[in-house]
Amino acid sequence: MSQRLNMKKLIPEGYKAILGMDAFLSASPLKKSHKDLIDIRTAQINGCAYCMDMHNRTALQHGESLQRLFVLNGWREAGLFSEEEKVILAMTEEITLIHQHGLSEETYQLALQHFDETYIAYLITAIISINGLTRIGVSARMQVPAVVEKYSS
């Protein structure tokens, strides 16, 4: 499967605007580990291999463990994620799959037990931002760089 188009070249102003939300989040109080979990889980759900590759690499640079990355898709059963992280992952799934039922009241109330409303607003913004970017990646068929690396833990 070859890449369809390059949004950055075709509409640079639009692409820059979309990336602007990510730049905003980089300067926010959102923890890098939280953003990494959101980015990777969203990429997994949306099937964006390019984004999975990029965000897993970023998470590794931020100190994330290989074991947690390997089992992220099974986070409920893994026993490796904190209650706070489980809430973030549940929010990520419910907002990414918004057509099913949206962010449930149960998950929102759990989020309020761990975060204030401002931090929840940042989490929701991060989920919305990466959903836009992964949808570009899938629609444009962005290609994973052909780099083979071996990791050790």
Output the pLDDT for position 106: 98
Angle (deg, nearest 10), helices 83-96 and 32-46: 40
21, part of any domain = yes
153, part of any domain = no
152, part of any domain = no
Residue 146's pLDDT band, with cuts at 50, 70 and 90, is: confident
Q: Which residue range(s) make up the domain with 27?
A: 7-139
CATH number of residue 15's parent domain:
1.20.1290.10
Per-residue pLDDT of 96-130, as tens digits, reads 999 999 999 999 999 999 999 999 999 999 999 99
117, part of any domain = yes
Q: What is the mean pLDDT of residues 46-63?
A: 92
147, part of any domain = no
87, part of any domain = yes
Q: N- to C-terminal Cα distance for the chain?
A: 32
72, part of any domain = yes
Per-residue pLDDT of 72-102, as tens digits, reads 999 999 999 999 999 999 999 999 999 999 9
Q: How many structural domains comprise the chain?
A: 1
2, part of any domain = no
Model pTM?
0.90
Task: Kindly calculate the radius of gyration of the chain based on its CA atoms and give it in whole angstroms.
Answer: 16
